[in-house]
Amino acid sequence: MSWPGLRVLVAGGGIGGLCLAQGLRAAGVSVRVFERDTSVAGRNQGYRLHISPEGERALRECLPERVVRLISGTANVRHGAGLSAYDEHLSPRWAPAFEDPRAADPQKIDSVDRVTLRHALLAGIEDVVQFGRTVVGHEVTPGGVTVRLADGATETGDVLVAADGAGSRIRERHPGLASHADLGIRTIFGRIPMTPRVQALVSPELRDRFSYVIGSDGHHLGLMPMVFREPPPVVAGRLWPGLAMAPAGDYYMCVFNLHADRLGTSDDELFRLSGTDLWRLVTDRTAGWHPGVREILGYADPAASFAVALRATDPVVPWDTGPVIPLGDAAHTMPPSGGVGANTALRDASALTTALAGVDRGERDLADAVADYQAAMVGYATDALQLSLRILRWSIPSPDEHPAAHPRR
């Protein structure tokens, strides 16, 4: 097959990789995405993502208007900015408001369901995204980059974008880059379907806002409602007949953070626990908390629950300016506390689209364009990382600040 202009290969069809592919497609640049998941709705992705003003701008820069409307139509209805924090008895602690220039714009994309976002990001570029294709190696050649896939095939392009997430294999093979550091926090994520029973049990303070409950024992729980403006299949049916969008009901995303050294169990054991056992552990650690928060934990969907170790790339550093280009978590993993990891990946996608489109048109040298992209990325990704770390320390104080309050189990 003849492939004119710049040939861009992308490892990873997650948030950043798909947004980049949309941007490149719109700019007329040839792109192919290799994604390890066998389908767009892979396991453990059904959680809510906050979209910042910068993230929304990047989406609008990369995507055709019709795709933006799919995302806006399925976004969360909530328009408030900020969060409310309580102690474990639900006494108010503080309620910071975050600046949001979008204010109460009814079309703003405040937060989205990750699987629904991924469905929308795939719309119209299905022909260039290959699912079930894992990148297992790559080699820089005089003519560009060759990637090796798990099925034994090879593919060659001019550049390879490493959009393969926090566990990036491409980053691992890139000499001189440190791995992402363990922050010593383990997080259990889950989704609690917003059934009438759950709505009756949840304390009214927590019902329709982004809330933190910070225990005097240092454990921390976040609860975030995801209420779809309209059911995703209805929006797809109206805006994009024939587009598959999985049905999804409203839910609370629930996040429970613990200090690893107070967990009393190894990571191996934690990561092997079933969804039901994870929430049993949370219920055990929140004995004595207000029933209006504790009682709904038993309604978490076990199939959508998982535990992760929080990691961070600190400092964020540029890679070399060769044809292997980092994007998203592969370049800058950060804890989800700031709600900005995906937004930073979207900013990367927009900035890299501009850089590579200039190269494709013959206006720029590849090494210069990649250097400029990485210099900008290191600046805003460092800010995002520092914000995430500050919020993490603030909401989950170190165990030393609660010396008596962390019984070892």
Ligand X SMILES: Cc1cc2nc3c(=O)[nH]c(=O)nc-3n(C[C@H](O)[C@H](O)[C@H](O)COP(=O)(O)OP(=O)(O)OC[C@H]3O[C@@H](n4cnc5c(N)ncnc54)[C@H](O)[C@@H]3O)c2cc1C
Q: How many residues of this chain interact with ligand X, rule: CB under 6 A? A: 32
Q: Residue 152: which region, alpha, beta or left (left: phi > 0; alpha: psi -120 to 50)? A: left
Residues 82, 186: Cα–Cα separation, whole Å: 24
Our finding on whether 50 is near ligand X (CB under 6 A) is yes
Site for ligand X in 91-120 (CB under 6 A): none
Our finding on whether 47 is near ligand X (CB under 6 A) is yes
Our finding on whether 17 is near ligand X (CB under 6 A) is yes
Stretch binding ligand X (CB under 6 A), from 1-9, 236-244, 258-266, 335-343 = 335-343
What pairs with residue 253 in β-bridges?
191, 224
Smallest separation (angstroms) from ligand X to the CB of 200: 26
Cβ nearer to ligand X, comparing 286 with 333: 333
CA atoms within 13 A on the CB side of 255: 28
Our finding on whether 391 is near ligand X (CB under 6 A) is no
Cβ nearer to ligand X, comparing 244 with 308: 308
Cβ nearer to ligand X, comparing 131 with 372: 131
Our finding on whether 357 is near ligand X (CB under 6 A) is no
Helix (H) or strand (E) holding 324: strand 324-326
Stretch binding ligand X (CB under 6 A), from 153-161, 197-205, 332-340, 389-397 = 332-340
Strands (E), 123-210: 129-131, 135-141, 144-149, 154-157, 159-162, 181-193
Instruction: Map residues 152-181 to x or -, x wherever contact with ligand X holds by CB under 6 A.
Output: -----------xxx---x------------
Question: Exactly one of 342, 357, 391, 396 binds ligand X (CB under 6 A); which one?
Answer: 342
Contact of 369 with 359, CB cutoff 8 Å: yes
209 CA to centre of own chain: 20
Smallest separation (angstroms) from ligand X to the CB of 166: 6
Residues 190, 185: Cα–Cα separation, whole Å: 16
Contact of 225 with 78, CB cutoff 8 Å: yes
Question: Exactly one of 72, 328, 360, 377 binds ligand X (CB under 6 A); which one?
Answer: 328
Look-up of token digits 């039901």: 276
Our finding on whether 395 is near ligand X (CB under 6 A) is no
Nearest to 395 by CA among 159, 200, 185, 142: 185
Our finding on whether 217 is near ligand X (CB under 6 A) is no
DSSP code, position 126: G
Our finding on whether 220 is near ligand X (CB under 6 A) is no
DSSP code, position 97: P
Smallest separation (angstroms) from ligand X to the CB of 75: 12
Our finding on whether 340 is near ligand X (CB under 6 A) is yes
Nearest to 62 by CA among 14, 110, 115, 121: 121
Contact of 210 with 219, CB cutoff 8 Å: no
Q: Which residue is nearest to ligand X (CB)?
A: 14
Question: Exactly one of 6, 8, 9, 15 binds ligand X (CB under 6 A); which one?
Answer: 15
Cβ nearer to ligand X, comparing 47 with 289: 47
Question: Exactly one of 341, 350, 357, 358 binds ligand X (CB under 6 A); which one?
Answer: 341
What Cα–Cα distance (Å) separates residue 240 from each residue in 46, 67, 68, 166?
A: 22, 9, 12, 32
Smallest separation (angstroms) from ligand X to the CB of 11: 5
Our finding on whether 35 is near ligand X (CB under 6 A) is yes
Cβ nearer to ligand X, comparing 37 with 267: 37
Nearest to 341 by CA among 271, 391, 395, 270: 391
Our finding on whether 329 is near ligand X (CB under 6 A) is yes
Site for ligand X in 281-320 (CB under 6 A): 308
Residues 21, 8: Cα–Cα separation, whole Å: 9
Question: Exactly one of 61, 78, 87, 134 binds ligand X (CB under 6 A); which one?
Answer: 134
Residues in the site for ligand X, rule: CB under 6 A?
11-17, 34-37, 47, 49-50, 134-135, 163-165, 169, 189, 308, 328-330, 336, 339-343, 345
